[in-house]
Amino acid sequence: MVKIKTNFHTLRGDEGGFFMGSGRLDGLVGFPLPLAYVVLLICQQGYADVDVNLQSYTIGKNDFLVLSEDSIAIINSKSDDFLCSYYLMNRSIAAEVAHVLPNSLFLLLNRFPHFKSDSHVLAFINVWEGFLSITSKEELQYTRQIIVNHFQNFFLWVSQHNVHMSANARNDYSRQEAICWEFWELISAHCKQEREVAFYADLLHITPYYLSQLTRKYFNDSPKTLIDRQMVLEIKKQLTHSNKSIQQIAHEFKFSDASYFGRYFKRITGIGLTEYRKLRS
């Protein structure tokens, strides 16, 4: 039910419900992180520069990240003394936690996964982690329910205090910003099947040219670059974290054949599919 791991070199967990641990995440720099269904990562010391879904964040001491299995998170660099604690939940325990949470919180966490520390955050985090550390060491009848309630309290607190916690959090978006975020959500949902800008522009009821203007303004890249980048990250996840053949992955991503699939991947990354898989094996 509850397992504690230290120096755990992945953020995926296994078939258990909940894990907690700490580590430097050595060996994971530069590659998509293998993630559990929900991951809460709290920086204990040092710093790390992390990309989450095309956005860049610098995580300092006592800052935290909330990631999901669908997040594309990459540690670009970190200090030598970087150390984090992490809490991993599988789908079943995460569903229990989410049951009482407001829908607005999920939108906040999807758009703004990084929360900056201040004295208010630090006081809460210290108490919250201390209580969880004590509770998780006791295999009692109600340990699971206590942990579920404890995470519900955490996320409800985040929802209540998001204005103070997130440097980027805001509830009012311009129409242009809203279109960009909707475009990003559409990429996440459809990139395995659709690689053409016109497909997304049509769903957004705008022209490809206008979409290009918006993404260059807010994401500093063309729509096609964003689509390809997300798709390549998804391909890397499959190559790294599954045993599927190249042909199977090509079929999943709607490529006509494995040869074209390989050329597409190498054109964007500069490395072949097999070479990349061997590098991460």
φ/ψ of 55, rounded to 5, equals -110, 145
- 268-to-85, 183, 263 alpha-carbon distances in Å: 34, 21, 9
How many C-beta atoms lie closer than 10 Å to residue 278's C-beta?
10
Q: What's the pLDDT score for residue 106?
A: 75
For the stretch 231-280, pLDDT in tens is 988 898 889 888 899 999 999 999 999 999 999 999 998 999 999 888 76
pLDDT of residue 103: 66
Tokens of 146: 């206590």
CA dist 222 and 173 (Å) reads 21
More confident residue, 124 or 120: 124
Give whichever of 66-75, 86-95, 195-204 has the largest mean pLDDT. 195-204
In this prediction the pTM is: 0.65
Q: Are 249 and 274 in contact (CB under 8 A)?
A: no
Cβ 89 vs Cβ 37: under 8 Å:
yes
Mean of pLDDT values over 135-141: 74
Tokens, residue 1: 């039910």
Residues 77 and 48: beta-carbon distance below 8 Å: yes
Q: Rounded to whole angstroms, what are the CA distances from 281 to 178, 239, 240, 242, 243?
A: 40, 9, 7, 11, 11
Closest CA to 115 of 65, 57, 73: 65
64-68 β-sheet, strand order? 2-4, 18-23, 83-89, 38-45, 64-68, 114-115
Cα dist. 271→27, 108, 110, 268 in Å?
19, 35, 30, 8
**pLDDT of the residue at 130:** 92
Q: Is 10 exposed, middle or buried (0-12, 13-18, 19+ CB in 10 A)?
A: buried
Inform me whether the pLDDT recorded for 112 exceeds 90: no
- 1 pLDDT higher than 60: no
Mean per-residue pLDDT over the chain, rounded: 85
Q: List Cα–Cα distances, 1 to 42, 103, 217, in angstroms.
A: 22, 27, 47
User: Quick one: pLDDT at residue 59?
Assistant: 95
Domains of the chain are: 2-165 (2.60.120.280), 175-280 (1.10.10.60)
How much is the pLDDT for 96?
81
> How does residue 160 score in pLDDT terms, banded at 50, 70 and 90?
confident
Specify the pLDDT at position 61. Answer: 93
**How big is the chain by its Cα radius of gyration, in Å?**
20
Whether 148 has a pLDDT exceeding 50, the answer reads yes
| pLDDT digit string, tens, across residues 6-59 | 444 567 765 567 888 899 998 889 888 989 889 999 999 999 999 998 889 999
